[in-house]
Amino acid sequence: MIIRSKAPLRISFSGGGTEVSPYKDEYGGVVLSATIDKYAYGSLRRRDDRNVAVTSLDYDIVAKYNLDVEMNYNGELDLVKAVIKNLNKGYKQGFDFFIHSDAPPGSGLGSSSTMVVALIGLLKHLQSLPLTNYEIASLAYHIEREDLGIKGGMQDQYAATFGGFNFIEFGPGLGLSNVVVNPLRIDAGVINELEYRLLLCYTGRTRLSANIITDQVEAYTKKEEDVLKAMEELKRITVELKNALLQARLDDFGRLLHEAWINKKKMARQITNETIDALYETARKHGALGGKILGAGGGGYLLLYCEFDKKHVIAEELEKLGGQFVEFTFDHHGLQTWEVRS
């Protein structure tokens, strides 16, 4: 028997960065996001011994471990090791892992956190563990941010686990009771129109989000006034974006994306650069009402909301600058696991 899992990557419309500690711990944060039809995948096949073999198709790595030997974190497949350490409690058989993702780390789509969620799903299914979605997301956060010390926020783990359009509130502290995922009931026609009006453009480079997060945290710790004001304004805009989406005011939604991007750029120096600014300004010049770089910034994917009759023009102009466009639709399911006969 083979167990498979998939968890969806996400588009964060607004609020990213407000759910990062220590800002979140004092003021709380909010994020508006939606998952898309790009995924992190995992497969698990049981073995008859105590060995674990991990094949990463993205990095062309095959690594072998033993459940009776300590798995040290050394930069190679540490996410996989950490999931095994946290979840494989007393299971007697080894297994083979096969993992891959539709987007690379540093893309701004939350791929690393989403892979952790997919891996948790495999071991949860294997051992019939009674974990709720909140517990899965919280465990994924613990593994990434606390066990491995990877800097970042909390939104990706919850988006990948729950799926769909969500307005997520992050209160002070790390407990489950301090995170509330509010699923949004949006008319199918509005979702179709949103897909029709959005462009997802790869900027041609990935980035290390931890460096940007470090800059943001340092600016907050120093209580830089413009950074604090930008983060408070970003939370206000995130609420307005949620309301515009629910009320089918999509052109207002597009304009608010622009406002959110203006404030997002104030949170850390590395969030934007000349390449991103050139792509964004060209898009605005040719009919984009708003947009933003996804994730922490610095590279990855640029999301644009376009006037419907200008979308093709914007795509043509950005391709001249090296932009690469990715077709997508929204996903509404979150983490899924299933079995197949080997």
* Burial profile 159-181: b = 16 or more Cβ within 10 angstroms, e = fewer: bbbbbbbbbbbbeeebeeebbeb
Three-class DSSP category at 2 = strand
Of 339, 276, 341, which Cα lies nearest the Cα of 108? Answer: 276
Q: Reply yes or no on whether 156 is catalytic.
A: yes
- 276 backbone dihedrals φ, ψ, rounded to 5°: -65, -45
Dig out the tokens for 144 from the structure. Answer: 């990434």
* Burial profile 87-107: b = 16 or more Cβ within 10 angstroms, e = fewer: bbeeeeebbbbbbbbbbebbb
Dig out the tokens for 113 from the structure. Answer: 């956190």
Are 35 and 164 in contact by the 8 Å Cβ rule? The answer is yes
For tokens 């899965």, the residue is 136
Of 123, 134, 114, 139, which Cα lies nearest the Cα of 38? Answer: 114
DSSP secondary structure letter of residue 127: H
Out of 78, 147, 156, 331, pick the active-site residue: 156
Dig out the tokens for 312 from the structure. Answer: 């093709």
The answer for 296, left when phi > 0, alpha when psi is -120 to 50, beta otherwise, is alpha
Could you give the count of Cα atoms lying within 13 Å of 280 in the half-sphere of its Cβ? 22
DSSP 3-state percent helix, strand, coil across the chain (nearest 5): 40, 25, 35
Cβ-based neighbours of 314, under 8 Å, separated by 6 or more: 199, 282, 283, 286, 287, 288, 304, 306
Alpha carbon of residue 40 to chain centroid: 11
Q: Which helix (H) or strand (E) holds 331?
A: strand 330-331
Query: Active-site residues: which are they?
Result: 156
